[in-house]
Chain A
Amino acid sequence: MASKTAAKDIITLRGSAAIVSEFFGYAANSILYNRAVYPEESFARVKKYGLPMLLTKDEGVKSFISNLNAQLSEWLEAGKLQRVVLVIMSMNTGEVLERWNFSIETDNEVVEKGVSREKSDKEIMREIQAIMRQIASSITYLPCLDEQCVFDVLAYTDTDVAVPFTWMESSDAKLIANPQMVKLHSFDTKIHKVNTLVSYKNDEEELDDEE
């Protein structure tokens, strides 16, 4: 894991995978809270990345996210994970309303040769903090989710990845037709670079239809 030196910390593949999977867990919780997929009272406040973060108290969601993080960490260490998408859908109609896209670029040299990189932990935390702030402020431009919603997580992996028992291959990537897209900040551990992008259903089409 990271050991502190004078200015930069050493980042190993395992440490980077842990950072990214942990980030995804907190990001997923933040999205579920900010988009009101689950009620506010089902979240507890914790301190992380120098910010007050909200984690769900629902055991089902907790176990789901923890299992997910474990699998993502495994795939990240193998360098097989390309993208993680958190999809928010309408419970009644199953229509996809939002797609939170976390694309991952892996330094293959680190995966193949097992070398480590150097980057300051503080710098990484600062970058993640910026993304969390952007997720929290996304409610200003994202359309309101008036109906009951559910979420799902899709993992885009290499084709040679063995599908675990609790996962299945899905032919439906749960895409949104003609989405609006907003690119958020990215963070880089020098081994994994995570770019965040949110695409949502174009609200103007609904307004035009209503008109």
Chain B
Amino acid sequence: MILRTPAPKRARPIEPAPIIESPPVGSDHRQLAIYEDPSSAGPARREPSQQSEHMLCTYQCRQMVKADFLDALSNAEKQVQDYQSKLAELNDNFGKADEERKTFREKLSYVEQELAAAKGREQALHDQLLKEVNDSHERLKKELELSAKLQAKLENEQNLRKKAESTAAAAEDKAKELEAKLGHISKSIEKEKKRFNNELAQLNRDSKFSITKITVDLEKMEFRAKSSEQEVELLRKQQEDLQSKFSECLHQKSELEKRLTSLSFEDDSPKESDILVKHLQEELRNYESEVREARKLKSAHDSIELMKEKLLEEKSRRERVELQLPKLQEYELKINKLEDELSAWKLMIQDIPGVSCCDDVPLRISALQKEVIDNLKKLGEVNAHLKQMQVVLDKTQLDKQKTETEAALAKEKADRLEAEVKRMNLMLSAVSEERNMLKIAIEDFKSKNEQAGGHASSSALQELESSLLKREPYIKELEGDLFAQKDINTRQQDEIKSLHDRLNSEARKVKSLERESDRLRSEIFLLESKLGHGDFSAANTKVLRMVNTLAVGNDAKQTIEALQSELQRTKEKLQALEEYKSQSGNSGKLVDSYMSGKVAQLKEQIATLEKREERYKTVFADRISVFRRACCELFGYKIVMDERQRPNGIPVTRFTLQSIYAMNDDEKLEFEYESGNTNIVENGYTSTSEISQQVDIFVRKMNSIPAFTANLTVESFNRRTLS
């Protein structure tokens, strides 16, 4: 151990002279010259001279030792100085190392702080991430719930819409059907009216024709009467002649009888007179028979002519009846059709809910129209709501997608942060290892510095430098890895974004495909329903059915057979009449019986035909009245039809309509019908403000007289019910 200051000198007793020792080998090769330095001798006690030589020796030894000691001292001092300089250097180095240590400590602390801050940030980020993830989860859940609710709402709305559409379609169909039926009925009514007009005209013509015929017949009859009178006169004259002849003959007979009686008295040959009488009697009888025959012939002639006339009449009647028979059949068919239509109309009225009688039909139609309008409004509102819901759905889906992407991004951030944290942890661990190493190095340096001066500090410094140098490439490597990781991360993020975009597009494609599949399924269902319903395309398909179907059946066959038998009978009758015509000049008796039979048959036929005609007329009149009453009850108007002529000679049919709900008799509507066109005629009632307004709207603008009349009916009904 090197002492810094020599120990204080002790006051030594006089001792024998110290043993002079030879100086050490390493020291100065000076011989010890012991001299006493008066100053240094100090309080050295002088021994006696005897002891002076001894003392001189020892003094010399001492001087030598002193010199040696001084040399050693100086050397030591030099060494000490050297050591001190070295120490100073070492201290400087130590200071430097200390500063470096401090800087490292600061760096450490900075790094630790950074670590702590990073940890805190990481924790905060983690917490934030967790919060965000939780928030996004919650949002996702909420969004999912919302979307589920919205989907349920959408489905409900769609169902409602479908129901509303179906009800609207059904109502529209019903309304259309009703309108079509109404139109059909109105058309049929117009047709019937036309037909009835035609029939009326025809009946008029027929009546005129029959009147002319009757006049002609009258004239004929008059002519015949005249001719018969003439014939009667002729016959009377003949009769008078015959009577005169007869009277002459009687007179002759009486004269002859007288002669005979006179002769009988005179002559006994009565035979010639008897013969004469007999002959005369026979002649008389012949005359009588001839007269009778003439009378018979006359009567037969009269009857023949009458029969001829009757034949002609009956032929004409038969022709007329035959002509009218198909018409009657047509009338019957039409009546049946009308009855069927009426029954169908009644059934339809029964089928229509809320309608108990014909008056309720326009009200029901107006109510249905209002319902249709309301339903259409509701449909529109539902559609608008649906669209809004769809927009909201789309928004929520977009938000959902956004949140999903945000969640994915947050996850990525979290992953990245975790990776960073790991990296930081690794860095921390590496730094802490370095710190430990540095600590160890510092401690080593300290110990080394304490032990061996400057060697340890230089080695520690070198170690520090080497460690620093080692760290730098490591740091560079880490930085390079960081950059590479960053690049990889950005690339991965870009890939993830592109994958997300692709995912979204694929999801959209999937949705569109699903929508298409739903649409196709609905189309398939519609087509299957149409197939089941029996719809077909007229371009590709035609519907055929067998003519002699069993559904028509026995009734038609029977009617056909009856008609055929009637035809045969009339043909036989015609043949018989023709034969009779050809045979009329031959035998009177055959003619009489045949003609009487034929006359009876014809009379019976005439009677039956006339009865049938009257029955048809009554049935027709009944049906017309029923039809008119039905029209009145169904449409609420009493219709009176007139045929007039315009000043230019064109015939025009005028219809006067009076509502059954009219408050007074002046409330009448007049229409003119001409060649398919119906025009309203202005009168006092239609020129009032209310009615003229309605006429303008419904008739002039919308060109719909049924709408006008229906509206008027409803208004007058409301007025009536309110009053």
Contacts and interface: CB of A to CB of B under 8 A. Distances in A.
Contacts of B3: none
Interface string A86-130: 000101010000010101000000000000000000000000000
Interface string A141-152: 000000000111
A101 B550 contact: no
A168 B545 contact: yes
B542 A61 contact: no
A64 B543 contact: no
A32 to B, nearest CB: 10
A3 to B, nearest CB: 34
Given A89-B551, A167-B547, A209-B353, A158 B535 contact: no
A103 B347 CA distance: 33
Interface stretch (B127-135, B360-368, B525-533): B525-533
Contacts of A152: 545, 549, 551
A67 to B, nearest CB: 7
Contacts of B535: 173, 175
Given A150-B550, A167-B547, A93 B347 contact: yes
17 contacts: A68-B546, A101-B532, A150-B551, A151-B550, A152-B549, A154-B543, A154-B545, A156-B541, A158-B540, A166-B546, A167-B545, A169-B542, A173-B534, A181-B532, A183-B528, A208-B353, A209-B350
B544 A167 contact: yes
A175 B550 contact: no
Nearest to B549: A152
Contacts of B546: 64, 67-68, 153, 166-168
Contact of B534 (A60, A68, A161, A199): A199
Interface of A: 60-61, 64, 67-68, 82-83, 85, 89, 91, 93, 99, 101, 103, 150-159, 161, 163, 166-176, 178-179, 181, 183, 197, 199, 208-209
A112 B533 CA distance: 31
Contacts of B534: 85, 99, 101, 173-176, 199
Contacts of A156: 536, 541-543
B351 interface: yes
B176 to A, nearest CB: 12
Interface in B548-585: 548-551, 553
Interface in B494-544: 528-529, 531-536, 538-544
Given A156-B543, A157-B541, A168-B545, A175 B533 contact: yes
A181 B542 contact: no
A81 B538 CA distance: 14
Contacts of A154: 543-545
Contacts of B529: 181
A161 B540 CA distance: 11
A61 B550 contact: yes
B551 A170 contact: no
B544 A163 contact: yes
B536 A179 contact: no
A200 to B, nearest CB: 10
Contacts of A175: 533-535
A150 B549 CA distance: 10
